[in-house]
């Protein structure tokens, strides 16, 4: 069965995502783009998120890619937000219904090559940028 959210066959996207997380946690060269991998994957698999969570991930990706904020800085901001109890929304969904109904993406996680850390980081960045561009065109969220 094709993934109902990103369209990849046999839901290979989930397998690949799990493999990438292991790779990123075991090799620092790959780990530098961990924040992009997670945000891009979540944007393209919105059933894992609430509506607010999806919008939050999109905003995060924009901060990483467009505003060039370093992940550590954003993590601190997020932590402050959580600590101060300002965040009133849940990020993860239990309902399992997609937030968006877009299932065609120019790039998915399957476009990322893993030969070496440099290629991997370039491909993850290109995938994340493409996911952000397409997500920002979605007006009905
Ligand atoms: Zn998928």
Beta bridge partners of 139: none
Average pLDDT score, the chain: 90
Cα 94 vs. chain centroid, distance in angstroms? 18
CA of 80 to the centre of ligand 1 (A): 32
Identify the pLDDT of residue 112: 98
8 A C-beta contact, residue 38 and residue 31:
no
CA of 131 to the centre of ligand 1 (A): 13
CA of 50 to the centre of ligand 1 (A): 17
CA of 6 to the centre of ligand 1 (A): 4
The reported pTM is: 0.89
- Strand (E) or helix (H) holding 10: none
pLDDT of 127 > 70? The answer is yes
The CA-atom distances, in angstroms, between 100 and each of 2, 40, 95, 135 are 17, 14, 14, 9
CA of 32 to the centre of ligand 1 (A): 23
């Amino acid at each position: 069965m094709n993934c109902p959210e990103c369209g990849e066959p046999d839901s290979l996207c989930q397998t690949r995502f799990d493999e990438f997380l292991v790779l990123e946690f075991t090799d620092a060269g790959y780990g530098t783009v961990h924040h992009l991998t997670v945000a891009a994957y979540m944007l393209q698999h919105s059933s894992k998120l609430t509506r607010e969570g999806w919008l939050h991930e999109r905003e995060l990706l924009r901060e990483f890619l467009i505003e060039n904020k370093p992940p550590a800085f954003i993590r601190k901001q997020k932590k402050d937000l959580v600590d101060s109890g300002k965040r009133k929304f849940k990020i993860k969904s239990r309902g399992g219904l997609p937030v968006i109904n877009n299932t065609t993406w120019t790039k998915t996680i399957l476009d990322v090559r893993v030969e070496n850390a440099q290629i991997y980081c370039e491909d993850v960045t290109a995938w994340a940028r493409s996911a952000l561009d397409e997500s920002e065109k979605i007006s009905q969220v």
